[in-house]
A = this chain, B = another copy of it.
Amino acid sequence: MNLGFIGLGTMGTAMATHLLRSGYTLRVWNRSSGPAARLQALGAQVANTPAEVAQDGTVIAMLADDAATQAVLLDAGVLAAVPRGGVLINTATLSPAVAQELAARHEARGVDYIAAPVFGRPDVAQAGKLQILAAGSADVIERVRPLLETLGQKLWYFGEQPARANVVKLAANFMIASAIEAMGEAATLTHGYGIEPAAFLEMISSTLFAAQVYQGYGKRIAQRQFEPAGFKLPLGLKDIRLALQAAEAVRVPMPFASVLRDSLLEGMAHGQEQMDWSSLARTIAQRAGQG
Protein backbone atom coordinates (compact mmCIF):
# COMPACT_ATOMS: atom_id res chain seq x y z
CA MET A 1 0.00 0.00 0.00
CA ASN A 2 1.21 3.51 -0.84
CA LEU A 3 1.16 6.18 1.81
CA GLY A 4 2.29 9.73 2.39
CA PHE A 5 4.04 10.60 5.66
CA ILE A 6 4.64 14.18 6.79
CA GLY A 7 6.68 15.21 9.78
CA LEU A 8 9.88 13.30 10.49
CA GLY A 9 10.80 14.31 13.99
CA THR A 10 11.98 11.57 16.31
CA MET A 11 8.53 10.06 16.63
CA GLY A 12 7.59 10.49 12.99
CA THR A 13 10.84 8.88 11.86
CA ALA A 14 10.34 5.91 14.16
CA MET A 15 6.79 5.40 12.96
CA ALA A 16 7.74 5.74 9.29
CA THR A 17 10.64 3.34 9.75
CA HIS A 18 8.32 0.72 11.18
CA LEU A 19 5.85 1.18 8.32
CA LEU A 20 8.62 0.75 5.72
CA ARG A 21 9.83 -2.38 7.45
CA SER A 22 6.26 -3.67 7.54
CA GLY A 23 6.00 -3.47 3.78
CA TYR A 24 4.35 -0.13 3.18
CA THR A 25 5.54 2.10 0.36
CA LEU A 26 6.11 5.60 1.73
CA ARG A 27 6.40 9.01 0.20
CA VAL A 28 7.83 11.26 2.90
CA TRP A 29 8.36 14.96 3.51
CA ASN A 30 9.98 16.92 6.27
CA ARG A 31 10.80 20.60 6.73
CA SER A 32 14.50 19.88 7.10
CA SER A 33 16.02 17.35 4.72
CA GLY A 34 18.19 15.16 7.00
CA PRO A 35 15.47 12.88 8.34
CA ALA A 36 14.00 12.34 4.87
CA ALA A 37 17.38 11.27 3.58
CA ARG A 38 17.69 8.68 6.32
CA LEU A 39 14.32 7.22 5.41
CA GLN A 40 15.26 7.25 1.73
CA ALA A 41 18.05 4.86 2.66
CA LEU A 42 15.35 2.55 4.00
CA GLY A 43 13.38 2.72 0.76
CA ALA A 44 11.14 5.75 1.14
CA GLN A 45 10.55 8.13 -1.72
CA VAL A 46 11.33 11.71 -0.79
CA ALA A 47 8.80 14.37 -1.84
CA ASN A 48 9.95 17.82 -2.83
CA THR A 49 6.89 19.54 -1.42
CA PRO A 50 4.35 18.70 1.28
CA ALA A 51 1.63 18.51 -1.35
CA GLU A 52 3.44 15.73 -3.22
CA VAL A 53 2.91 13.27 -0.36
CA ALA A 54 -0.84 13.58 -0.78
CA GLN A 55 -1.15 11.99 -4.17
CA ASP A 56 -1.71 8.41 -3.05
CA GLY A 57 -4.75 9.42 -1.05
CA THR A 58 -3.67 8.26 2.39
CA VAL A 59 -1.52 10.61 4.46
CA ILE A 60 -0.17 10.29 7.98
CA ALA A 61 0.86 13.54 9.66
CA MET A 62 3.03 13.82 12.78
CA LEU A 63 3.81 17.52 13.02
CA ALA A 64 5.04 19.40 16.06
CA ASP A 65 2.04 21.43 17.12
CA ASP A 66 -1.08 23.36 16.11
CA ALA A 67 0.84 25.98 14.17
CA ALA A 68 3.10 23.58 12.25
CA THR A 69 0.12 21.39 11.44
CA GLN A 70 -1.94 24.27 10.11
CA ALA A 71 1.01 25.64 8.17
CA VAL A 72 1.78 22.37 6.44
CA LEU A 73 -1.68 20.85 5.94
CA LEU A 74 -3.53 24.01 5.05
CA ASP A 75 -1.09 26.68 3.90
CA ALA A 76 1.44 24.43 2.18
CA GLY A 77 -1.28 22.68 0.25
CA VAL A 78 -1.42 19.12 1.53
CA LEU A 79 -5.18 19.19 1.99
CA ALA A 80 -5.69 20.72 -1.42
CA ALA A 81 -3.68 17.91 -2.97
CA VAL A 82 -5.38 14.95 -1.31
CA PRO A 83 -7.77 13.37 -3.84
CA ARG A 84 -11.47 13.40 -2.88
CA GLY A 85 -12.21 10.27 -0.89
CA GLY A 86 -8.71 10.25 0.54
CA VAL A 87 -7.91 10.23 4.22
CA LEU A 88 -5.65 12.25 6.49
CA ILE A 89 -4.56 10.49 9.69
CA ASN A 90 -3.29 13.06 12.15
CA THR A 91 -1.19 11.59 14.94
CA ALA A 92 0.02 14.86 16.44
CA THR A 93 -0.89 16.25 19.86
CA LEU A 94 -3.18 19.13 18.95
CA SER A 95 -5.74 21.32 20.63
CA PRO A 96 -9.31 20.10 20.18
CA ALA A 97 -10.17 23.48 18.68
CA VAL A 98 -7.65 23.10 15.88
CA ALA A 99 -8.58 19.44 15.42
CA GLN A 100 -12.19 20.48 14.98
CA GLU A 101 -11.27 23.14 12.46
CA LEU A 102 -9.09 20.71 10.49
CA ALA A 103 -11.85 18.12 10.49
CA ALA A 104 -14.29 20.67 9.10
CA ARG A 105 -11.86 21.86 6.45
CA HIS A 106 -11.19 18.32 5.31
CA GLU A 107 -14.85 17.43 5.27
CA ALA A 108 -15.57 20.46 3.13
CA ARG A 109 -13.20 19.07 0.52
CA GLY A 110 -14.47 15.51 0.69
CA VAL A 111 -11.41 14.21 2.48
CA ASP A 112 -11.77 12.04 5.57
CA TYR A 113 -10.00 13.18 8.72
CA ILE A 114 -8.98 10.87 11.54
CA ALA A 115 -7.33 11.99 14.78
CA ALA A 116 -4.96 9.34 16.06
CA PRO A 117 -2.57 10.72 18.67
CA VAL A 118 -0.37 8.11 20.29
CA PHE A 119 1.33 7.06 23.54
CA GLY A 120 4.82 5.66 23.43
CA ARG A 121 8.41 6.69 23.04
CA PRO A 122 10.31 6.41 19.75
CA ASP A 123 11.59 2.90 20.51
CA VAL A 124 8.03 1.78 21.13
CA ALA A 125 6.95 3.41 17.87
CA GLN A 126 9.74 1.70 15.97
CA ALA A 127 8.54 -1.64 17.35
CA GLY A 128 4.96 -0.92 16.26
CA LYS A 129 3.77 -1.10 19.86
CA LEU A 130 2.17 2.31 20.31
CA GLN A 131 -1.15 2.88 22.01
CA ILE A 132 -3.39 4.70 19.55
CA LEU A 133 -6.18 7.03 20.62
CA ALA A 134 -8.49 7.26 17.65
CA ALA A 135 -11.53 9.35 16.83
CA GLY A 136 -13.37 10.07 13.61
CA SER A 137 -15.82 8.24 11.38
CA ALA A 138 -16.06 4.60 12.50
CA ASP A 139 -16.28 3.50 8.87
CA VAL A 140 -13.14 5.29 7.91
CA ILE A 141 -11.30 3.92 10.91
CA GLU A 142 -12.35 0.41 9.87
CA ARG A 143 -10.95 1.14 6.44
CA VAL A 144 -7.53 2.18 7.81
CA ARG A 145 -7.51 -0.25 10.71
CA PRO A 146 -4.78 -2.49 9.23
CA LEU A 147 -2.54 0.53 8.93
CA LEU A 148 -3.28 1.72 12.48
CA GLU A 149 -2.77 -1.80 13.81
CA THR A 150 0.60 -1.89 12.14
CA LEU A 151 1.57 1.28 14.00
CA GLY A 152 0.20 0.30 17.36
CA GLN A 153 -0.47 -2.64 19.60
CA LYS A 154 -3.89 -1.34 20.56
CA LEU A 155 -6.50 1.03 19.22
CA TRP A 156 -8.76 2.96 21.62
CA TYR A 157 -11.78 4.49 19.93
CA PHE A 158 -13.42 7.62 21.31
CA GLY A 159 -16.17 8.42 18.82
CA GLU A 160 -16.97 10.25 15.65
CA GLN A 161 -15.61 13.68 16.49
CA PRO A 162 -11.87 13.69 15.84
CA ALA A 163 -11.27 16.36 18.53
CA ARG A 164 -12.15 13.81 21.19
CA ALA A 165 -8.98 11.84 20.65
CA ASN A 166 -7.00 15.04 21.00
CA VAL A 167 -8.59 15.99 24.29
CA VAL A 168 -7.96 12.47 25.58
CA LYS A 169 -4.29 12.86 24.73
CA LEU A 170 -4.11 16.22 26.52
CA ALA A 171 -5.86 14.74 29.54
CA ALA A 172 -3.36 11.90 29.61
CA ASN A 173 -0.39 14.26 29.42
CA PHE A 174 -1.93 16.28 32.23
CA MET A 175 -2.07 13.09 34.27
CA ILE A 176 1.60 12.38 33.62
CA ALA A 177 2.54 15.88 34.73
CA SER A 178 0.41 15.41 37.83
CA ALA A 179 2.23 12.19 38.65
CA ILE A 180 5.55 14.01 38.30
CA GLU A 181 4.43 16.85 40.55
CA ALA A 182 3.05 14.40 43.13
CA MET A 183 6.33 12.46 43.16
CA GLY A 184 8.24 15.73 43.43
CA GLU A 185 6.23 16.99 46.39
CA ALA A 186 6.28 13.62 48.16
CA ALA A 187 10.02 13.17 47.65
CA THR A 188 10.71 16.70 48.86
CA LEU A 189 8.61 16.12 51.96
CA THR A 190 10.33 12.86 52.83
CA HIS A 191 13.75 14.33 51.99
CA GLY A 192 12.96 16.98 54.60
CA TYR A 193 13.03 14.09 57.09
CA GLY A 194 16.35 12.81 55.81
CA ILE A 195 15.13 10.15 53.39
CA GLU A 196 16.94 9.90 50.08
CA PRO A 197 14.56 10.58 47.17
CA ALA A 198 15.83 7.40 45.51
CA ALA A 199 14.79 5.30 48.51
CA PHE A 200 11.31 6.77 48.62
CA LEU A 201 10.71 6.73 44.88
CA GLU A 202 11.98 3.22 44.36
CA MET A 203 9.65 1.95 47.05
CA ILE A 204 6.60 3.82 45.79
CA SER A 205 7.13 2.83 42.16
CA SER A 206 7.61 -0.80 43.13
CA THR A 207 4.45 -0.99 45.21
CA LEU A 208 1.40 1.26 44.92
CA PHE A 209 2.57 2.93 41.75
CA ALA A 210 4.20 0.13 39.85
CA ALA A 211 3.55 1.76 36.48
CA GLN A 212 5.94 2.91 33.83
CA VAL A 213 5.23 6.62 34.27
CA TYR A 214 6.27 6.45 37.91
CA GLN A 215 9.24 4.21 37.34
CA GLY A 216 10.69 6.18 34.46
CA TYR A 217 10.18 9.66 35.84
CA GLY A 218 10.84 8.48 39.38
CA LYS A 219 14.33 7.46 38.33
CA ARG A 220 15.01 10.84 36.73
CA ILE A 221 13.81 12.65 39.85
CA ALA A 222 15.81 10.42 42.18
CA GLN A 223 18.97 10.98 40.16
CA ARG A 224 18.21 14.64 39.41
CA GLN A 225 19.05 13.82 35.84
CA PHE A 226 16.93 16.10 33.71
CA GLU A 227 19.16 16.26 30.67
CA PRO A 228 19.10 15.15 27.99
CA ALA A 229 15.36 15.63 27.93
CA GLY A 230 12.94 12.96 26.82
CA PHE A 231 10.18 15.54 26.63
CA LYS A 232 11.25 19.12 27.07
CA LEU A 233 9.71 21.34 29.70
CA PRO A 234 8.39 23.95 27.22
CA LEU A 235 6.51 21.19 25.41
CA GLY A 236 5.02 20.11 28.70
CA LEU A 237 3.99 23.67 29.43
CA LYS A 238 2.40 23.87 25.99
CA ASP A 239 0.35 20.72 26.61
CA ILE A 240 -0.83 21.91 30.02
CA ARG A 241 -1.80 25.22 28.45
CA LEU A 242 -3.77 23.37 25.76
CA ALA A 243 -5.46 21.26 28.43
CA LEU A 244 -6.42 24.39 30.38
CA GLN A 245 -7.77 26.06 27.23
CA ALA A 246 -9.71 22.95 26.27
CA ALA A 247 -11.12 22.82 29.81
CA GLU A 248 -12.06 26.48 29.77
CA ALA A 249 -14.02 25.95 26.56
CA VAL A 250 -16.25 23.44 28.34
CA ARG A 251 -16.13 25.24 31.73
CA VAL A 252 -14.14 22.71 33.68
CA PRO A 253 -11.97 24.07 36.51
CA MET A 254 -8.70 22.12 36.83
CA PRO A 255 -6.83 23.25 39.94
CA PHE A 256 -4.04 20.69 39.55
CA ALA A 257 -3.46 21.87 35.98
CA SER A 258 -3.27 25.43 37.25
CA VAL A 259 -0.61 24.47 39.78
CA LEU A 260 1.31 22.64 37.05
CA ARG A 261 1.19 25.65 34.76
CA ASP A 262 2.58 27.92 37.47
CA SER A 263 5.34 25.45 38.35
CA LEU A 264 6.39 24.83 34.74
CA LEU A 265 6.47 28.57 34.17
CA GLU A 266 8.74 28.92 37.18
CA GLY A 267 11.02 26.31 35.62
CA MET A 268 11.07 28.34 32.40
CA ALA A 269 12.14 31.38 34.40
CA HIS A 270 15.00 29.41 35.96
CA GLY A 271 16.88 28.02 33.00
CA GLN A 272 15.07 24.72 32.59
CA GLU A 273 14.08 25.19 28.96
CA GLN A 274 16.33 22.41 27.73
CA MET A 275 15.50 20.10 30.60
CA ASP A 276 13.00 17.28 30.73
CA TRP A 277 9.62 18.27 32.09
CA SER A 278 10.23 16.04 35.09
CA SER A 279 12.48 18.90 36.24
CA LEU A 280 9.22 20.08 37.77
CA ALA A 281 10.62 18.18 40.73
CA ARG A 282 13.66 20.45 40.73
CA THR A 283 11.45 23.52 41.05
CA ILE A 284 9.56 21.91 43.93
CA ALA A 285 12.76 20.99 45.77
CA GLN A 286 14.24 24.44 45.29
CA ARG A 287 11.17 26.08 46.78
CA ALA A 288 11.89 24.08 49.93
CA GLY A 289 15.52 25.17 49.90
CA GLN A 290 16.65 21.70 48.86
CA GLY A 291 19.04 21.37 45.96
Residues of A at the B interface (CB closer than 8 Å) are 96, 119, 131, 133, 154, 156, 158-159, 161, 163-164, 167-168, 170-172, 174-176, 178-179, 181-183, 185-190, 192-195, 199-200, 203-204, 207-214, 241, 243, 246-259, 261-263, 265-266, 268-270, 284, 287-289
Chain B CB count within 10 A is highest, among A156, A161, A247, A251, for: A251
Shortest Cβ gap from A198 to chain B (Å): 12
Complex alpha-carbon distance, A192 and B170, angstroms: 13
Shortest Cβ gap from A89 to chain B (Å): 19
**Which residues of B lie under 8 Å from residue A258 when comparing CB positions?**
255, 258-259, 261-262
**Which residues of B lie under 8 Å from residue A158 when comparing CB positions?**
195, 199
A96 touching B175, Cβ below 8 Å = no
A189 touching B255, Cβ below 8 Å = no
**Which residues of B lie under 8 Å from residue A209 when comparing CB positions?**
175, 179, 211, 213
Shortest Cβ gap from A287 to chain B (Å): 5
Question: A269-B289, A287-B266 given as contacts; is B208 within 8 A of A163 (CB)?
Answer: no
**Which residues of B lie under 8 Å from residue A212 when comparing CB positions?**
208, 210
Shortest Cβ gap from A192 to chain B (Å): 3
B96 touching A247, Cβ below 8 Å = no
Shortest Cβ gap from A141 to chain B (Å): 15
**Which residues of B lie under 8 Å from residue A207 when comparing CB positions?**
119, 131, 154
Question: A164-B193, A211-B210 given as contacts; is B256 within 8 A of A181 (CB)?
Answer: yes
Question: A175-B182, A182-B175 given as contacts; is B262 within 8 A of A195 (CB)?
Answer: no
A247 touching B171, Cβ below 8 Å = no
Complex alpha-carbon distance, A194 and B166, angstroms: 13
Q: What would be 25 A-B contacts, judged by CB atoms less than 8 Å apart?
A: A119-B208, A154-B207, A158-B195, A158-B199, A161-B193, A164-B193, A170-B189, A175-B209, A178-B179, A179-B209, A182-B182, A182-B256, A185-B252, A188-B254, A210-B211, A247-B265, A250-B288, A251-B265, A252-B269, A252-B287, A253-B261, A253-B265, A253-B284, A255-B259, A270-B289
A193 touching B250, Cβ below 8 Å = yes
A256 touching B211, Cβ below 8 Å = no
| Cβ contact of A254, chosen from B189, B199, B246, cutoff 8 A | B189
A175 touching B171, Cβ below 8 Å = no
Complex alpha-carbon distance, A249 and B255, angstroms: 21
Chain B CB count within 10 A is highest, among A186, A214, A247, A262, for: A186
B175 touching A189, Cβ below 8 Å = no
B171 touching A186, Cβ below 8 Å = yes
Shortest Cβ gap from A155 to chain B (Å): 10
